[in-house]
Amino acid sequence: MLAFIGGTGLTRIDGLVIHQRHALETRFGAPSAPVVEGELNGAPVLFLARHGDPHTRLPHQVNYRANLLALKEAGASAIVAVNAVGGITAATGSLVIPDQIIDYTWGRHSTFFDGADDPLVHVDFSWPFDRALRDRLRIAVEAAKAPWQDGGCYAATQGPRLETAAEIQRLEQDGNSIVGMTGMPEAVLARELGLPYAMLSLVVNPAAGKADREITMAEIEQVLHDGMAGVRRALAALAANQPSP
Protein backbone atom coordinates (compact mmCIF):
# COMPACT_ATOMS: atom_id res chain seq x y z
CA MET A 1 0.00 0.00 0.00
CA LEU A 2 1.29 3.45 -0.90
CA ALA A 3 2.06 5.62 2.14
CA PHE A 4 2.48 9.38 2.44
CA ILE A 5 4.43 11.21 5.14
CA GLY A 6 3.25 14.80 5.55
CA GLY A 7 5.52 17.55 6.80
CA THR A 8 4.99 21.21 7.59
CA GLY A 9 1.80 22.38 5.90
CA LEU A 10 0.47 18.86 5.31
CA THR A 11 -0.82 17.36 8.54
CA ARG A 12 -3.93 16.11 6.71
CA ILE A 13 -4.86 15.34 3.08
CA ASP A 14 -8.00 16.81 1.59
CA GLY A 15 -10.11 14.16 -0.11
CA LEU A 16 -8.74 11.30 1.98
CA VAL A 17 -11.61 9.02 3.00
CA ILE A 18 -10.51 7.66 6.37
CA HIS A 19 -11.35 4.05 7.19
CA GLN A 20 -9.20 3.48 10.25
CA ARG A 21 -6.62 5.12 12.52
CA HIS A 22 -3.88 2.79 13.75
CA ALA A 23 -2.55 3.87 17.16
CA LEU A 24 0.55 1.71 16.95
CA GLU A 25 3.33 1.22 19.47
CA THR A 26 6.61 -0.02 17.99
CA ARG A 27 9.71 -1.38 19.70
CA PHE A 28 11.11 2.15 19.32
CA GLY A 29 8.09 3.83 20.87
CA ALA A 30 5.04 5.55 19.43
CA PRO A 31 5.05 7.34 16.06
CA SER A 32 4.32 11.07 15.81
CA ALA A 33 0.62 10.42 15.17
CA PRO A 34 -1.70 7.50 14.44
CA VAL A 35 -1.23 5.94 10.99
CA VAL A 36 -4.31 6.84 8.98
CA GLU A 37 -5.62 4.19 6.58
CA GLY A 38 -8.07 5.23 3.90
CA GLU A 39 -8.75 5.87 0.24
CA LEU A 40 -7.53 8.70 -1.97
CA ASN A 41 -8.99 8.87 -5.46
CA GLY A 42 -10.46 5.43 -4.82
CA ALA A 43 -7.04 3.90 -4.06
CA PRO A 44 -5.95 2.51 -0.67
CA VAL A 45 -3.29 4.65 1.02
CA LEU A 46 -1.68 5.27 4.39
CA PHE A 47 -0.86 8.68 5.84
CA LEU A 48 1.32 9.79 8.76
CA ALA A 49 1.86 13.36 9.98
CA ARG A 50 5.62 13.55 10.58
CA HIS A 51 5.43 16.31 13.20
CA GLY A 52 2.19 15.13 14.81
CA ASP A 53 -1.38 16.33 14.38
CA PRO A 54 -1.42 19.08 15.42
CA HIS A 55 2.17 20.00 14.51
CA THR A 56 4.09 19.72 17.81
CA ARG A 57 7.44 18.00 17.16
CA LEU A 58 10.52 19.85 15.94
CA PRO A 59 12.59 18.07 13.26
CA HIS A 60 15.24 16.81 15.69
CA GLN A 61 12.54 15.56 18.08
CA VAL A 62 10.74 13.33 15.56
CA ASN A 63 10.94 9.61 16.35
CA TYR A 64 11.84 8.64 12.79
CA ARG A 65 12.37 4.97 13.63
CA ALA A 66 8.92 4.65 15.18
CA ASN A 67 7.34 6.51 12.24
CA LEU A 68 8.90 4.29 9.58
CA LEU A 69 8.35 1.06 11.47
CA ALA A 70 4.71 1.96 12.17
CA LEU A 71 4.11 2.52 8.45
CA LYS A 72 5.76 -0.81 7.64
CA GLU A 73 3.67 -2.62 10.25
CA ALA A 74 0.49 -0.94 8.92
CA GLY A 75 1.16 -2.37 5.46
CA ALA A 76 3.15 0.27 3.60
CA SER A 77 4.88 -1.00 0.46
CA ALA A 78 6.29 2.38 -0.70
CA ILE A 79 6.59 5.86 0.80
CA VAL A 80 6.38 9.36 -0.66
CA ALA A 81 7.55 11.96 1.85
CA VAL A 82 6.49 15.61 1.58
CA ASN A 83 8.66 18.37 3.01
CA ALA A 84 8.76 22.16 3.06
CA VAL A 85 12.26 23.36 2.17
CA GLY A 86 14.37 26.42 1.48
CA GLY A 87 15.61 27.06 -2.03
CA ILE A 88 19.36 27.30 -2.58
CA THR A 89 19.20 27.12 -6.36
CA ALA A 90 15.57 25.97 -6.71
CA ALA A 91 12.86 28.60 -7.18
CA THR A 92 10.38 29.52 -4.46
CA GLY A 93 6.98 27.95 -5.07
CA SER A 94 8.33 25.06 -7.11
CA LEU A 95 8.11 21.36 -6.33
CA VAL A 96 11.38 19.43 -6.36
CA ILE A 97 11.81 15.66 -6.71
CA PRO A 98 15.37 15.28 -5.41
CA ASP A 99 17.64 12.49 -6.55
CA GLN A 100 20.39 12.91 -3.96
CA ILE A 101 20.82 13.86 -0.30
CA ILE A 102 23.64 14.99 1.98
CA ASP A 103 23.26 14.47 5.71
CA TYR A 104 24.45 17.32 7.97
CA THR A 105 22.43 16.20 11.00
CA TRP A 106 23.90 14.82 14.20
CA GLY A 107 22.73 12.88 17.24
CA ARG A 108 19.71 11.32 15.55
CA HIS A 109 18.92 7.60 15.66
CA SER A 110 19.79 6.69 12.08
CA THR A 111 19.57 2.90 12.03
CA PHE A 112 17.36 0.08 13.23
CA PHE A 113 20.43 -2.06 13.87
CA ASP A 114 22.30 -0.46 16.77
CA GLY A 115 21.06 -2.70 19.59
CA ALA A 116 23.39 -5.09 21.38
CA ASP A 117 21.66 -8.11 19.85
CA ASP A 118 21.05 -6.62 16.39
CA PRO A 119 22.93 -7.87 13.31
CA LEU A 120 25.63 -5.69 11.74
CA VAL A 121 23.94 -4.22 8.66
CA HIS A 122 25.31 -1.81 6.06
CA VAL A 123 22.80 -0.80 3.37
CA ASP A 124 23.78 0.51 -0.05
CA PHE A 125 22.69 4.15 -0.10
CA SER A 126 24.41 5.31 -3.29
CA TRP A 127 21.05 6.32 -4.77
CA PRO A 128 18.83 7.18 -1.80
CA PHE A 129 15.55 7.63 -3.69
CA ASP A 130 13.82 4.81 -5.51
CA ARG A 131 14.04 5.32 -9.27
CA ALA A 132 10.73 3.68 -10.22
CA LEU A 133 8.83 5.59 -7.55
CA ARG A 134 10.44 8.85 -8.71
CA ASP A 135 9.32 8.07 -12.26
CA ARG A 136 5.73 7.67 -11.09
CA LEU A 137 5.98 10.83 -9.00
CA ARG A 138 7.20 12.83 -12.01
CA ILE A 139 4.13 11.77 -13.99
CA ALA A 140 1.88 12.74 -11.06
CA VAL A 141 3.46 16.18 -10.69
CA GLU A 142 3.04 16.78 -14.41
CA ALA A 143 -0.64 15.88 -14.07
CA ALA A 144 -0.95 18.31 -11.15
CA LYS A 145 0.17 21.16 -13.44
CA ALA A 146 2.45 22.65 -10.78
CA PRO A 147 5.88 24.23 -11.36
CA TRP A 148 8.51 21.62 -10.59
CA GLN A 149 12.13 20.58 -10.89
CA ASP A 150 13.34 17.08 -11.69
CA GLY A 151 16.35 16.17 -9.59
CA GLY A 152 18.52 18.05 -7.16
CA CYS A 153 20.35 17.45 -3.92
CA TYR A 154 18.59 17.84 -0.57
CA ALA A 155 20.74 19.15 2.29
CA ALA A 156 19.46 17.71 5.58
CA THR A 157 20.39 20.10 8.40
CA GLN A 158 19.86 19.71 12.12
CA GLY A 159 17.58 22.62 12.96
CA PRO A 160 15.43 23.79 14.52
CA ARG A 161 17.05 27.12 13.69
CA LEU A 162 17.40 28.21 10.10
CA GLU A 163 20.83 28.36 8.51
CA THR A 164 23.20 31.32 8.28
CA ALA A 165 24.05 32.84 4.91
CA ALA A 166 27.56 31.41 5.23
CA GLU A 167 26.20 27.94 5.87
CA ILE A 168 23.98 28.17 2.80
CA GLN A 169 26.99 29.26 0.75
CA ARG A 170 28.84 26.15 1.95
CA LEU A 171 25.83 23.94 1.17
CA GLU A 172 25.68 25.36 -2.34
CA GLN A 173 29.39 24.70 -2.81
CA ASP A 174 28.69 21.11 -1.75
CA GLY A 175 26.19 20.81 -4.61
CA ASN A 176 22.88 21.17 -2.76
CA SER A 177 19.87 22.80 -4.39
CA ILE A 178 17.39 22.68 -1.49
CA VAL A 179 17.69 22.58 2.30
CA GLY A 180 15.43 20.99 4.90
CA MET A 181 15.54 19.36 8.31
CA THR A 182 13.65 16.06 7.97
CA GLY A 183 15.15 14.14 5.05
CA MET A 184 17.53 12.22 7.26
CA PRO A 185 17.42 9.73 8.86
CA GLU A 186 13.99 9.15 7.33
CA ALA A 187 15.33 8.18 3.90
CA VAL A 188 17.92 5.69 5.13
CA LEU A 189 15.51 4.08 7.60
CA ALA A 190 13.14 3.40 4.72
CA ARG A 191 16.03 1.77 2.86
CA GLU A 192 16.83 -0.43 5.86
CA LEU A 193 13.20 -1.58 5.90
CA GLY A 194 13.28 -2.32 2.17
CA LEU A 195 10.63 0.32 1.44
CA PRO A 196 10.90 2.29 -1.85
CA TYR A 197 11.09 5.96 -0.83
CA ALA A 198 10.90 9.24 -2.72
CA MET A 199 10.57 12.89 -1.73
CA LEU A 200 8.32 15.67 -2.95
CA SER A 201 9.74 18.95 -1.64
CA LEU A 202 7.95 22.31 -1.78
CA VAL A 203 10.29 25.32 -1.83
CA VAL A 204 8.62 27.81 0.53
CA ASN A 205 11.33 30.48 0.75
CA PRO A 206 14.78 31.42 -0.55
CA ALA A 207 17.52 30.05 1.71
CA ALA A 208 19.53 32.48 3.86
CA GLY A 209 21.42 35.01 1.80
CA LYS A 210 19.48 34.16 -1.37
CA ALA A 211 17.03 37.07 -1.17
CA ASP A 212 17.72 40.79 -1.22
CA ARG A 213 15.23 41.42 1.59
CA GLU A 214 13.84 39.82 4.72
CA ILE A 215 11.36 37.01 4.09
CA THR A 216 8.29 37.25 6.31
CA MET A 217 6.31 34.39 7.83
CA ALA A 218 3.23 35.72 6.04
CA GLU A 219 4.97 35.19 2.69
CA ILE A 220 6.07 31.69 3.66
CA GLU A 221 2.57 30.77 4.81
CA GLN A 222 1.12 32.01 1.52
CA VAL A 223 3.56 29.88 -0.49
CA LEU A 224 2.74 26.91 1.76
CA HIS A 225 -0.97 27.43 1.17
CA ASP A 226 -0.65 27.78 -2.59
CA GLY A 227 2.06 25.14 -3.06
CA MET A 228 0.42 22.47 -0.93
CA ALA A 229 -2.58 22.61 -3.24
CA GLY A 230 -0.27 21.38 -6.00
CA VAL A 231 1.20 18.77 -3.66
CA ARG A 232 -2.28 17.43 -2.87
CA ARG A 233 -3.14 17.22 -6.56
CA ALA A 234 0.08 15.33 -7.22
CA LEU A 235 -0.53 12.87 -4.39
CA ALA A 236 -4.07 12.26 -5.60
CA ALA A 237 -2.78 11.62 -9.14
CA LEU A 238 -0.11 9.27 -7.80
CA ALA A 239 -2.64 7.32 -5.70
CA ALA A 240 -4.97 6.92 -8.68
CA ASN A 241 -2.19 5.40 -10.79
CA GLN A 242 -0.76 2.81 -8.46
CA PRO A 243 0.54 -0.34 -10.15
CA SER A 244 -1.51 -3.48 -9.69
CA PRO A 245 -0.38 -5.61 -6.72
8 known member of a binding site: yes
65 known member of a binding site: no
Alpha carbon dihedral 36, 200, 147, 164, in 10-degree steps, equals: 120
206 known member of a binding site: yes
DSSP 8-state class, residue 90? S
Neighbours of 34 (CB within 10 A): 18
205 known member of a binding site: yes
Q: Between the CA of residue 182 and those of 37, 61, 115, 188, what are the distances in Å?
A: 23, 10, 23, 12
229 known member of a binding site: no
213 known member of a binding site: no
51 known member of a binding site: yes
159: left (phi over 0), alpha (psi -120 to 50) or beta: left
Report d(CA 84, CA 72) in Å as an integer.
24
Stretch (H or E) spanning 154: strand 153-156
Residue list for the binding site: 8, 50-51, 181-182, 205-207
Residue list for the binding site for substrate: 181, 205-207
Residue list for the binding site for phosphate: 8, 50-51, 182
